[in-house]
């Protein structure tokens, strides 16, 4: 899972810092995994992409929309919004259910305001910390793509605990878990 998440963050870092664009619709069904190599991803569906500095509208996939999109008008920086969506995607892939399983995103976001995101289902404390930093309610406090790439979750681990995937931390799931979760999320969306 680390290699795929790392590639997603690299793509967002390029979009945010080089192209000055926010994707605005990060979710499992917009992350394609090549069939020839399960560790190569492609980010798709740029229909909602927005140049940084332009006013953002409250539009997106409800379960992955950042709280600030629902509560504020005139947001001009979509980078934290993308990072919230990465956190919501990561949460769903780790826990097996969406972060917000309500029909109207406002209900779910208000619950998060009141109690914070419950991350106790994520067993790896380092992965839990990354997810916490991605799902900070305050967009100014949310981790950036560049900072997330430096998170300890992506650091090599001692030889005795290395996985075959390049020596990154083992989170209890590999690329095949990510692929299965993406397929489940896609099926769930096509049924609704």
Q: How confident is the prediction along the chain (192 residues), in pLDDT tens digits per residue?
A: 888 899 999 999 999 999 999 999 999 999 998 877 667 899 999 988 888 887 776 667 778 888 887 776 667 789 999 999 999 999 998 988 888 765 556 666 666 666 678 898 899 999 999 999 999 988 999 999 999 999 999 987 653 343 333 344 444 444 444 444 444 444 444 444
- Alpha-carbon distance of 45 to 36, in angstroms, equals 21
Q: Which residues are within 8 A (CB) of 52 and not within 5 positions of it... i.e. 6 or more apart? A: 16, 20, 21, 22, 76, 77, 78, 79
Distance in angstroms (rounded) separating the CA atoms of residues 167 and 154: 9
65 HSE (CA, 13 A, CB side)? 25
Q: What is the spatial distance between Cα 144 and Cα 161, in angstroms, rounded to a whole number? A: 28
Q: Which residue among the candidates 17, 25, 82, 138 is catalytic per the annotation?
A: 25
Confidence (pLDDT) at 188: 45
The Cβ-side half-sphere exposure at 1, using a 13 Å CA radius, reads: 21
Q: What is the residue extent of each domain of the chain?
A: 2-191
Residue 59 falls in the annotated catalytic set: no
Q: CATH number of 2-191: 3.40.50.800, 3.40.50.300, 1.10.3720.10, 1.10.510.10?
A: 1.10.510.10
């Amino acid at each position: 899972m680390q290699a795929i998440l790392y590639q997603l963050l690299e793509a967002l870092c390029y979009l945010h810092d080089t192209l000055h664009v926010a994707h605005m619709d990060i979710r499992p069904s917009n992350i394609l995994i090549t069939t020839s190599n399960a560790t190569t991803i492609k980010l798709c569906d740029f229909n909602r992409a927005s140049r940084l500095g332009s006013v953002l509208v409250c539009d997106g996939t409800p379960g992955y929309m950042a709280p600030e999109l629902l509560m504020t008008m005139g947001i001009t920086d979509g980078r934290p919004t993308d990072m919230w969506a990465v956190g919501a995607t990561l949460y769903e892939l780790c826990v097996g259910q969406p972060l917000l399983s309500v029909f109207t995103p406002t209900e779910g976001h208000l619950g998060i305001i009141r109690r914070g995101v419950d991350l106790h289902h994520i067993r790896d404390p380092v992965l839990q910390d990354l997810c916490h930093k991605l799902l900070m309610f305050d967009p100014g406090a949310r981790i950036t793509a560049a900072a997330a790439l430096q998170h300890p979750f992506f650091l090599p681990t001692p030889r005795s605990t290395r996985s075959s995937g390049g020596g990154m931390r083992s989170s209890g799931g590999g690329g095949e878990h990510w692929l299965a979760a993406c397929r489940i999320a896609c099926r769930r969306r096509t049924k609704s």
